[in-house]
Structure 1
């Protein structure tokens, strides 16, 4: 099909200076499903696994790239108990590295063992629809240093098609990290493309190695599901504690989620997403079209979804929806428009950490520039302060945090950054919340 698997050439294999072991791109996770089955048996959760083989495969290769490290240029104001400062910044990818024309769609997460995993599309062409690598980097010291990039998926020489990131998700009970991406999403399809398909890959060793991609078509069908971009969640509270949730969109449909109650072995659609209006018609300016989105779980177990307002319905701002049944449904009567969060139609970051709701996007109604961190002590009912992370070109952003007691005073931001264009690099910023 589109993703092909190669053996690693020893001449390009590199050694991870962080953990002292060689990166191996030959899957060693063949025992992942049996391990999860055993886990689920022990916890009285039973499920059937439907695994579709992926036709001729996935390029797995390894290389090292030097990184540029810069000093954060941030400005802000002192408001309440949050008084942030950018404590450190690292450029994880930049245009031109390995001949890549653009690095886009940043993903970021912490694993239960404290590793940070950053992922992105490494685009061989500039367009969304084009051949790409999936690249990741890891840090074991909370972003102070990073291992070299790994390129774990490769589309070869294909031009018309390309996978789309995507969402990263951690199951804290099984210590499994998932990355979800979409394949065959851009018409007209390439020769042999059977239609849109959602794939998922996993790692059980904090991102060091990755298993074979699984095609979820047999579970959720040939439906375009553009996950995130951002991160999925595992519910930490009832109802449906332990459920894995990944939300995304389809332009003609709206925003919806896929759910797993057996630790990622099987997936299904939620019952009611946030439907675009008018339904199943071509979009035009002013229509209601929720698009790329990010979710968080609030202390009462509800799910907040913050979505891109693609056609600028009502305002150039964000759409916010709520679910009270583990992301199965998002009632229309719980939808609002947060006019304080002006937005140039972009994928934004959302994070609930230490009783504070954080939001990142380019604070501009028409241009992707001035990446700004905002925070709310009232679950977004009003916003209590802001801090400019980068005052020039900036695009998609995402955030992560650690629940370790020694790390409560920090959040972590990964975003598209540039001077002339927002995708000149992908930058990691460690933010200290109080001084």
Structure 2
């Protein structure tokens, strides 16, 4: 029997509002999928202290009322050229570990072209779900994650050489992080003379990036190969794929034993392509997105997990001044929802100096079209790296930027899908 003589419609709204907020945790309302929908509200009885019964509404999901998370774009400087006795920071790379830790890698170039270059890292730890309640639009308030960073650590010192183009990949089967990078003997000055006399190295971490194994050379197995720049991916089959390039053009190297041995795939037919990134599509094929001489990105497909490539062409919907770009799959948490692809670069069809207006684009058809875009920074901007942060609702972007030129600093941006799909005229905060 109901202890409250009022009908459900007569229960005061402030009571229902409080109960609704408490029910959100049980209903697991988050902004993981960019939209949250309420299918129905079913009245149930809850007995408090065995004396009183009140009527509350239990939330069930589906699609009648859209509750949309608040758009946001937050940015901070992470590596500033001239700080920590480093002349210039370049070549950002961003991944998220199985524990949720954000790992931001880059090159720390010590001085002139002949000076050594170190591979460095900063980490931001994920402390689990926020202890404070979520607000009604479902945005989780994790203040420290992606804001507080541990001090910079040197993953691999140059010691007279240039350690270049970090390209990490997370092996989610083992929890390990594997990095492929290139060592150029004699520093950057020799890179300008002959890029293909360096060594291809592999490092790994078993403790969330706190410590790293000594480098192991794999040049004999894969040839002279420059990884990325950017990140590698793990396919649904478990294969680790490192995109990059050799003097024959863009290609990938891959491992089927968790990064212990590596083989090289066949390069694309366009020798003018070099820096590349790759993403696995819904049907299991791979899409490689490449830098070439300018004007547009170059793309190719693979049906054999990166061993060979076909359907190569200029991607005229992605203008490019001849710069590295980043491509990423964004999982869709909605039942039956389609994953999206994200792509970032300075979107100008040349010249080389047009490295400005760094922009993120969205595709909802596996890269066939890119109808949505949003500018992250209106000034200089060059290389970038995208990642999905822990929880799945926030996207991270590590990118080169500055006021006078794009190599003054490497910044870290966090944004959600609502910001990306909101009209440009809307304010970011």
Judge same fold: TM > 0.5, yes or no: yes
Say whether 1:326 aligns with 2:308: no
What displacement does 1:113 show? 1.1
Report the counterpart of residue 101 of structure 2 in structure 1. Answer: 115
Question: 1:84, 1:431 within 8 Å by CA — same for their partners in 2?
Answer: no
CA distance in 2, matches of 1:388, 1:194: 36
Give ranges in structure 1 of 5+ residues lacking alignment: 1-80, 278-288
d(CA) in 2 for partners of 1:260 and 1:319? 25
1:189 deviates by 8.4
Change (3 A) 1:153 1:408: closer
Residue of structure 2 aligned with 1:264, choices 238, 259, 266: 259
* Residues 82 and 433 in structure 1, CA contact (< 8 A), matched pair in contact too: no
CA distance in 1, matches of 2:68, 2:165: 32
Q: Secondary structure at the match of 1:97?
A: coil
Whole-angstrom CA distance in 2 between matches of 1:257 and 1:119: 20
Choose from 245, 254, 259 the match for 2:249.
254
- State the match for 2:183 in structure 1: 183
User: How many Å apart are 1:87 and its aligned residue?
Assistant: 3.2
For the residue of structure 1 that corresponds to 2:380, the secondary structure is strand
Aligned equivalents of 2:370 and 2:196: distance in 1? 46
Spell out, residue by residue over 1:369-415, the C-alpha distance to the aligned partner (whole angstroms, 9 max, x if none): 0001111111222112111100001110010114x6xx232211000
SS in 1 for 2:221: helix
Q: Is the 8 A contact 2:72 2:418 kept in 1?
A: no
Structure 1 match to 2:123: 138
Secondary structure at 1:274 match in 2:
coil
The answer on 1:103 being equivalent to 2:97 is: no
How many aligned residue pairs are there?
321
Asked if the contact 1:84/1:433 (under 8 Å) is kept, the reply is no
Is the Cα–Cα contact under 8 Å of residues 184 and 191 in structure 2 kept in the other structure? yes
Specify the alignment match of 1:362 in structure 2.
346
The 5 A counterparts of 1:205-354 are 205-220=207-222, 223-236=223-236, 241-250=237-246, 252-270=247-265, 272-277=266-271, 289-309=272-292, 311-312=293-294, 316-331=295-310, 334-354=311-331
Who is 2:362 aligned against?
A: 375
Deviations 1:145-175 (A, max 9, x none): 111111122223x3xx512213111100011
Give the whole-Å Cα distance in 2 for the aligned partners of 1:409 and 1:114: 13
Q: Say whether the 8 Å CA contact 2:280–2:287 is kept in structure 1.
A: yes
Provide, for residues 205-229 of structure 1, a one-character-per-residue CA deviation record: whole Å limited to 9, x for no partner: 1111111111113433xx3211000
Structure 2 alignment gaps of length 5 or more: 1-66, 127-144, 332-338, 420-429
SS of corresponding position for 2:84: helix
Pick aligned residue for 1:152 from 151, 155, 159: 155
Determine helix, strand or coil for the equivalent of 1:121: strand
What pairs with 1:411-422 in structure 2 (closer than 5 Å)? Answer: 411-422=395-406
CA contact (8 A) 1:84 1:387 kept: no
8 A contact 2:108–2:119 mirrored in 1: yes
Aligned CA distance change for structure 1 residues 260 and 323 (closer, same or farther; 3 Å): same
Task: State the secondary structure of the residue aligned to 1:219.
Answer: helix
**Aligned-partner SS, 1:92:** strand
Local SS of the residue matching 1:369: coil
Structure-1 separation of matches of 2:68 and 2:307: 33
Q: Residues 83 and 415 of structure 1: is their aligned pair in 2 closer, same or farther, counting only changes over 3 Å?
A: farther
The Cα of 1:139 is off from its aligned counterpart by 0.8
- Is 2:71 aligned against 1:94? no
How far apart, in 2, do the equivalents of 1:429 and 1:259 lie? 30
Return the offset for 1:195. 3.8
Q: Secondary structure at the match of 1:275?
A: coil
Q: CA deviation at 1:82?
A: 10
Q: 1:176 to 1:165 in 2, by over 3 A?
A: same
Instruction: Work out the CA distance in 1 between the residues paired with 2:118 and 2:317.
Output: 37
**Residues 294 and 350 of structure 1 are in contact (CA less than 8 Å); yes or no, is this contact kept in structure 2?**
yes
**Counterpart for residue 18 of structure 2:** none
**Does the 8 A contact of 2:119 with 2:166 survive in 1?**
no
Q: Distance in 2 between matches of 1:373 and 1:230?
A: 15
Q: Deviations over 1:62-116 (max 9, x none)?
A: xxxxxxxxxxxxxxxxxxx999944322211001111211100001101111111
**What SS does the corresponding residue of 1:98 show, helix, strand or coil?**
coil
After superposition, the Cα gap between the structure-2 partners of 1:110 and 1:322, relative to the gap in structure 1 and judged at 3 Å, is: same
- Report the CA distance between 1:194 and its aligned residue: 11
CA displacement at 1:119 relative to structure 2: 0.4
